[in-house]
Amino acid sequence: MTQDDFRARLDRNADATEALLDGLLRPDPLPGELARPARLLEAMRYAMLGGGKRLRPHLVTETARLFGREGDGVTRACAAIECIHGYSLVHDDLPAMDDDELRRGKPTVHRAFDVATAILAGDGLLTLAFDILADDATDRDAEIRVALTLALARASGIGGMVGGQMLDLEAEGRFTPEGRPLANGEAETLKLQAMKTGALLAAAVDMGAIIGRAGGEQRRALATYGRALGQAFQIADDLLDAEGEAATVGKATGKDAAKGKSTLVSHLGLAVARDRLAGLVDQAKNALSTFGHNADTLRKTADFVAERRS
Amino acid sequence: MTQDDFRARLDRNADATEALLDGLLRPDPLPGELARPARLLEAMRYAMLGGGKRLRPHLVTETARLFGREGDGVTRACAAIECIHGYSLVHDDLPAMDDDELRRGKPTVHRAFDVATAILAGDGLLTLAFDILADDATDRDAEIRVALTLALARASGIGGMVGGQMLDLEAEGRFTPEGRPLANGEAETLKLQAMKTGALLAAAVDMGAIIGRAGGEQRRALATYGRALGQAFQIADDLLDAEGEAATVGKATGKDAAKGKSTLVSHLGLAVARDRLAGLVDQAKNALSTFGHNADTLRKTADFVAERRS
């Protein structure tokens, strides 16, 4: 698989998710809904449409494809996990949380609308994710739909993404008397990252495996891939932040260093962190051996995650 | 069924839900969870435990009981819908929303903790609701679990509760240039109320019907009951607010009137609103005729909703 083939695949998967989300976020109420308030719908569309790599949908799609599963049902699962990712960005950007004004070069939802609308848009997207999964258009087998629901909820709640954001706020010293960042050790930093971003990336792979009716051994192999990929994603993120700092004198300092936050780079140093990243990419790829060349796209995805520049 | 019997039943249902929520909100991570951050867990427990009438769980329980279904699985469904109700209170109380400092006589979650923790506690509870429903401890039949998930998600998302809160903020004039309340007509007021509170009350009854494997005709009868009960609940709320105003000179004015908000009482006047309420209670009770005396608790619940004083 060439790099161009991979990018084309990534783009096609992103387009499919975008189109499905666009169709789900329409003014017409679904059965059981009374109306869809225009301002809220507009904020949800603003948050979800027109951007992003759609990495999680890509992982769902390519994992399901290993088992010959594709089509609208799979894309609905992609839209569901993307709603979770999207809501988390809307809420994390809020003034009381990370207080960000821009996201992908556009004003954040609470800047483009207002804080109340942003909170509700996030709540609406979080709820929509589970509405999508429960509908039989996602999979005819109810056992599959509940398994998808459980995987997504477990990865994104108190013991996963939401809990990770909590740990992140704590690590920044938000709740210490003088706002001094916690001196988290490597293990605490790994746990925080595994919860905040790793769990949802691993869930994307797991959802693909669930849709694919993967057997126990295959599902465990894919879980190993998903975990390694999630860790690689986070080290790449830390490296991006730290190397952006070193790049040119006079450029803005890395955000993490400025906040005094522990990252894997601050624990390991640049060189060891780069080695660790390479090792994780190998580990992710090796976990796929049972799938042979069918898994080449997932292998390329591991490279893509490690090499990303934004 | 005497009034004492009814109150005992209401209390017992509340206690069962409380005990189940207490057990779900424990420090030990579930399979697939990495850790449960203490501060977040504490905020979720603070929001959920130690109070409230637990009206929605009561409706789930008593509806399921019509069909001979009871036990922990039913109580799990109660806990799930109560998590949705609880998260909505936490988020609605936030400074950017209704900016309330007290809830049931206690500081609201963002006052007892902080705004970021309150947002995350709400997100965690919303996610937990669907985690609970997807687990096979709720019902052995996956078809039932997805039906419960769909009913709850549909009632609480953009076309239900979250959308209703959006309409409520709009009705208060939040997004008009001078913050002037909208002059909503009776139809708009009914729609807002049906979404903001009615949808979740109706969903509680519907979830009981789903657990009970109600046939089409029974499910429609219960839907009529749930809708009428939801409307009765809201008129009782409006009357409480308006009559509190008239009660004693010198007492704080009714909140809705102070905000210039349209309510059914402002549309209909006190006398007609009281008649409308009585008519809805009759309608709710009549819808239950097919269940005979088995539905006496649900009938008493309609009276309870109409007569509540807080």
Structure token digits, residue B52? 């409230």
Closest Cα in chain B to A130: B153
Question: C-alpha distances in angstroms, A116 versus A113, B80, B117, B198?
Answer: 9, 24, 16, 21
A250 φψ region: left (φ > 0), alpha (ψ -120 to 50), beta (else): left
Q: Is B39 on the interface with A (CB under 8 A)?
A: yes
A174 and B116 in contact by Cβ < 8 A? Answer: yes
Q: In whole angstroms, what is the distance from residue A83 CA to residue A71 CA?
A: 19
Q: How far is B140 from chain A (nearest CA, A)?
A: 10
Q: Sorting pLDDT into bands at 50, 70 and 90, what band is B168?
A: very high
C-beta separation of B204 from B57 below 8 A: yes
Q: In whole angstroms, what is the distance from residue B253 CA to residue B250 CA?
A: 8
What is the pLDDT, as a whole number, of residue B219? Answer: 97
Q: Among A176-185, A297-306, B103-112, which stretch is predicted with the lowest mean pLDDT?
A: A176-185
Structure token digits, residue A297? 């796209």
C-beta separation of A165 from A92 below 8 A: yes
Neighboring chain A residues of B174 at a CB cutoff of 8 Å: 114, 116
Closest Cα in chain A to B33: A159
Using the predicted structure, report yes or no on whether residue A296 has a pLDDT greater than 90.
yes
Using the predicted structure, report yes or no on whether residue A250 has a pLDDT greater than 50.
no
Say which amino acid occupies B111. Answer: R
Q: Is A71 helix (H, G, I), strand (E, B) or coil?
A: coil
What φ, ψ does residue B103 adopt, rounded to 5°? -145, 120
Q: Is B130 on the interface with A (CB under 8 A)?
A: yes
Q: In whole angstroms, what is the distance from residue B160 CA to residue B149 CA?
A: 14
Residues 60-89 of B with CB under 8 A from A: 87
Structure token digits, residue B5? 């019997």
Q: Is B253 on the interface with A (CB under 8 A)?
A: no
Rg (CA), chain B: 19
Task: Please report where in the chains the tokens 């975008």 appear, as a residue.
Answer: A18
Using the predicted structure, report yes or no on whether residue A200 has a pLDDT greater than 70.
yes
Strands (E) in chain A, as ranges, are: 102-103, 106-107
Task: Single out the residue of B125, B132, B134, B129 nearest to residue B45, CA to CA.
Answer: B125
Handedness of CA B302, B303, B307, B310 (dihedral sign): negative
Q: In whole angstroms, what is the distance from residue B158 CA to residue A41 CA?
A: 8
- Report all structural domains of chain B as residue ranges with CATH numbers, in order of start: 3-307 (1.10.600.10)
C-beta separation of A296 from A275 below 8 A: no
Q: Which helix (H) or strand (E) holds A85?
A: helix A72-92
pLDDT in tens, A235-249: 999 998 888 754 543
What does DSSP assign to residue A178?
Answer: T
Q: Sorting pLDDT into bands at 50, 70 and 90, what band is A306?
A: very high
B130 and A145 in contact by Cβ < 8 A? Answer: no
Say which amino acid occupies B157. Answer: G
Strand A102-103 relative to strand A106-107, pairing = antiparallel
Using the predicted structure, report yes or no on whether residue A23 has a pLDDT greater than 50.
yes
C-beta separation of B37 from A163 below 8 A: yes
Please count the other Cβ atoms lying within 10 Å of the Cβ belonging to residue B84.
24
Note the ipTM here. 0.96
A120 and B165 in contact by Cβ < 8 A? Answer: yes
Using the predicted structure, report yes or no on whether residue A69 has a pLDDT greater than 50.
yes
pLDDT in tens, B88-131: 999 999 999 999 999 988 999 999 999 999 999 999 999 999 99
Question: C-alpha distances in angstroms, B115 versus A77, A156, A174, B92?
Answer: 31, 20, 11, 12
Structure token digits, residue B242? 């308006």
Using the predicted structure, report yes or no on whether residue B156 has a pLDDT greater than 50.
yes
Q: In whole angstroms, what is the distance from residue B81 CA to residue B152 CA?
A: 7
**Which of A130, A151, A175 faces B39 most closely, judged by CB atoms?**
A175
Mean pLDDT over each residue of chain A, to the nearest integer: 93
Q: Determine the Cα angle at B25 with ends A167 and A99, to 5°.
A: 30
Q: In whole angstroms, what is the distance from residue A101 CA to residue A110 CA?
A: 8
What does DSSP assign to residue B107?
Answer: E
Q: In whole angstroms, what is the distance from residue B170 CA to residue A38 CA?
A: 11
Please count the other Cβ atoms lying within 10 Å of the Cβ belonging to residue A240.
15
A34 and B134 in contact by Cβ < 8 A? Answer: no
Query: What is the dihedral angle through the alpha carbons of A253, A102, B156, B29, rounded to the nearest 10 degrees?
Result: -10
Neighboring chain B residues of A33 at a CB cutoff of 8 Å: 154, 157-160, 163
What is the pLDDT, as a whole number, of residue B256? Answer: 77
Q: Would you call A110 exposed, middle or buried from its count of C-beta atoms within 10 A (0-12, 13-18, 19+)? A: buried
Q: In whole angstroms, what is the distance from residue A36 CA to residue A29 CA?
A: 6
Using the predicted structure, report yes or no on whether residue B27 has a pLDDT greater than 70.
yes
What is the pLDDT, as a whole number, of residue A248? Answer: 40
Strands (E) in A151-225, as ranges, are: none
C-beta separation of A208 from A222 below 8 A: yes
What does DSSP assign to residue B49?
Answer: S
Q: In whole angstroms, what is the distance from residue A202 CA to residue A213 CA?
A: 17
Please count the other Cβ atoms lying within 10 Å of the Cβ belonging to residue B49.
14
C-beta separation of B99 from B255 below 8 A: no
Closest Cα in chain B to A169: B116
What is the pLDDT, as a whole number, of residue A261? Answer: 82
End-to-end CA distance of chain A: 23
Q: Would you call B209 exposed, middle or buried from its count of C-beta atoms within 10 A (0-12, 13-18, 19+)? A: buried
Q: In whole angstroms, what is the distance from residue A196 CA to residue A298 CA?
A: 22
Q: Is A51 helix (H, G, I), strand (E, B) or coil?
A: coil
Question: C-alpha distances in angstroms, A52 versus A63, A104, B110?
Answer: 20, 8, 32
pLDDT in tens, B273-306: 999 999 999 999 999 999 999 999 999 999 999 9
pLDDT in tens, B212-268: 999 999 999 999 999 999 999 999 999 988 887 545 433 344 677 777 788 888 899
Q: Is A152 helix (H, G, I), strand (E, B) or coil?
A: helix
C-beta separation of A80 from A136 below 8 A: no
